[in-house]
Amino acid sequence: MAISEAALDAVPGDLLTRARALQPATVRLRRALHRRPEVGMDLPRTQDQIVRALSDLPVTLHRGRSCSSVVGVLEGDRPGPTVLLRGDMDALPLTEDTGLAFRSEVDGAMHACGHDTHVAMLASAARLLAEDREQLAGRVLLMFQPGEEGFHGARAMLDDGLLETEAGVPEAAFALHVSATTPSGELHHRPGPMMAAADVLRVRVTGRGGHASAPQNALDPVPAAAAMVGALQTAVTRRVAPHDQAVLTVSRITAGTTDNVIPETAELEGTMRTLSEPVRALLRTEITRVCEHTALAHGCTAEVTIVPGYPVTVNDDGASADLARVGARVLGAARCVDMPSPLMGAEDFAYVLGRVPGALAFVGARPDGLDPDTAPPNHSNRVVFDESAMASGVAVHVGIARAVLAR
């Protein structure tokens, strides 16, 4: 897709001002969600909050069948295509340590990735778009998604019929994600791979246990597991081309029960991050080969399990360029930044972008006065987001929808 200059000209230049006028409502919803976070796919309180926030708008709402999603359809006054806007809803299993007046009231749950801001931004964007219905040639599909944090919530919504509502299949899909380490109010974007595929690696090494004073009478799985850690890093540097990016981190090693016993088994667990399906497939094969052969060299065996995670999040070139152009119009060109490289984190909006051309971009939300090198990042139990950045997200959501539906 590519929006025309006429479509870009149809994007009002005062969207940021209008979004700022809605800031009290945006903040109220965000803080209500922040106080009562929910984790995973079952988010009944969050779902009800969203339905209440949109109840006075001309939006047809659908609650999810398999999860606590909300899908809204906003019809424009004229026929035309559909554009999808996503806001994820779920929190993380962390205990908050920010000292905020509106900090989480739920032990072991916190909106540490800013999904509360995503919901609030999309709800306020829906309100502005509803005010502009007569300017919309087509419809807006509002995707409020649970289970982004490892639960494949976007895939579940697709299976529930996200693209089969009365809105039809969208022409384009967009998502915004706040970043606690990026200057507040900036839009960071790039075409092509935006975030990595994430697979989980589990290896069980089996030897033969025995007395720690007589290792010659046992087959110690611990040295085999230790050797695998180094061998796996070598596999990445020797088998993946230098211009391709891949990360393989072994983050857990477990073995043994006491000092004088050689255990029978040792376990490794880690994560594999890649930015293309060919490299992803290559590493799956190499990891299995390296672990099995390293174990064999120590007289042991290895059972390798690679659990597929989210696919690569790939931005459509045209959609990413359109989002950048709209961002420059509503925020100013100086606040729209080209990202030089992808992030190795993962995002399940990848499932949507695998079906619909579109783009994900980041909205900076680092509070003033915090050093970018030491500011608590997303997923920290001390992370704080600058709420004023939400107005930028609202304006960009509305701007890209207005541009796509300016027919």
pLDDT 10s digits, 326-349:
999 999 999 999 999 999 999 999
**67 annotated as belonging to a binding site for a ligand:** no
Residues 98 and 187 in one domain: yes
Residues 12 and 146 in one domain: yes
Query: Is 387 one of the catalytic residues?
Result: yes
List residues bridging with 140 in a β-sheet: 74, 83
Measure the CA–CA gap between 245 and 226, rounded to whole angstroms.
24
CATH code, domain carrying 43: 3.40.630.10
What's the pLDDT at 158? 97
Burial annotation 368-402 (CB, 10 A radius, 16+ → b, else e): eeeeeeebbbbebeebbbbbbbbbbbbbbbbbbbb
pLDDT at position 313 over 70: yes
Mean pLDDT (whole number) for 190-215:
97
The pLDDT tens digits for 386-400 are: 999 999 999 999 999
CATH code, domain carrying 220: 3.30.70.360
The residues near 22 (Cβ < 8 Å, ≥ 6 apart) are 124, 127, 128, 391, 394
Please give the residue range of the domain that contains residue 296.
197-307
Residues 116 and 259 in one domain: no
What's the pLDDT at 21? 98
**243 annotated as belonging to a binding site for a ligand:** no
Of the pLDDT bands very low, low, confident and very high (cuts 50, 70, 90), residue 167 is confident
Contact predicate 80/88, CB 8 Å: no
**293 annotated as belonging to a binding site for a ligand:** no
Beta strands 358-366 and 172-183, pairing class: parallel
Residues 215 and 303 in one domain: yes
Q: What percent of the chain has pLDDT over 70?
A: 100
- Which residue is catalytic, options 264, 310, 347, 351? 310
Contacts 24+ apart (CB under 8 A), 232-240: 232/287, 232/290, 232/291, 235/283, 235/286, 235/287, 235/290, 236/283, 239/282, 239/283, 239/286, 240/279, 240/282, 240/283
The pLDDT tens digits for 5-60 are: 999 988 999 999 999 999 999 999 999 999 999 999 999 999 999 999 999 999 99
Global pTM reads: 0.94
Residues 363 and 218 in one domain: no
Residues 57 and 185 in one domain: yes
Residues 235 and 380 in one domain: no
What's the pLDDT at 407? 73
pLDDT at position 2 over 90: no
The burial class, CB within 10 Å (0-12 / 13-18 / 19+), for 112 is buried
Residues 365 and 291 in one domain: no
Mean pLDDT (whole number) for 195-213:
98
- Listed residues 284, 307, 330: the one ending a domain: 307
- Listed residues 279, 307, 335: the one ending a domain: 307
Residues 217 and 324 in one domain: no
Measure the CA–CA gap between 140 and 268, rounded to whole angstroms.
46
Query: What's the angle, vertex CA 44, arms to CA 42 and CA 49, rounded to 5?
Result: 135
Within 10 angstroms of residue 58's Cβ, the number of other Cβ atoms is: 11
Query: Is 347 one of the catalytic residues?
Result: no
The burial class, CB within 10 Å (0-12 / 13-18 / 19+), for 260 is exposed
Cα dihedral 118→370→97→344 (10° resolution):
60
Write the DSSP string, 7-53: HHHTS-TTHHHHHHHTHHHHHHHHHHHHHS--BSS--HHHHHHHHHH
Measure the CA–CA gap between 192 and 308, rounded to whole angstroms.
21
pLDDT at position 269 over 80: yes
**115 annotated as belonging to a binding site for a ligand:** yes
**Domain count of the chain?**
2
**177 annotated as belonging to a binding site for a ligand:** yes
How far from the centroid of its chain's Cα atoms is residue 155's Cα? Answer: 13
3-class DSSP state of 172? strand
- Listed residues 291, 307, 323: the one ending a domain: 307
Measure the CA–CA gap between 112 and 110, rounded to whole angstroms.
5
pLDDT at position 213 over 70: yes
Mean pLDDT (whole number) for 363-392:
96
The pLDDT mean for the chain works out to 96
Q: How distant, in Å, are the alpha carbons of 61, 62, 123, 268, 365 from that of 160?
A: 14, 11, 22, 35, 32
Residues 158 and 229 in one domain: no
Residues 65 and 143 in one domain: yes
Q: How distant, in Å, are the alpha carbons of 38, 45, 105, 148 from that of 94?
A: 11, 18, 12, 15
Could you identify the residue written with the tokens 């299993």? Answer: 93
Of the pLDDT bands very low, low, confident and very high (cuts 50, 70, 90), residue 190 is very high
pLDDT at position 1 over 70: no
Measure the CA–CA gap between 138 and 245, rounded to whole angstroms.
39
Residues 77 and 210 in one domain: no
Could you identify the residue written with the tokens 């919504």? Answer: 157
Q: How distant, in Å, are the alpha carbons of 212, 257, 279, 392 from that of 204?
A: 20, 16, 24, 48
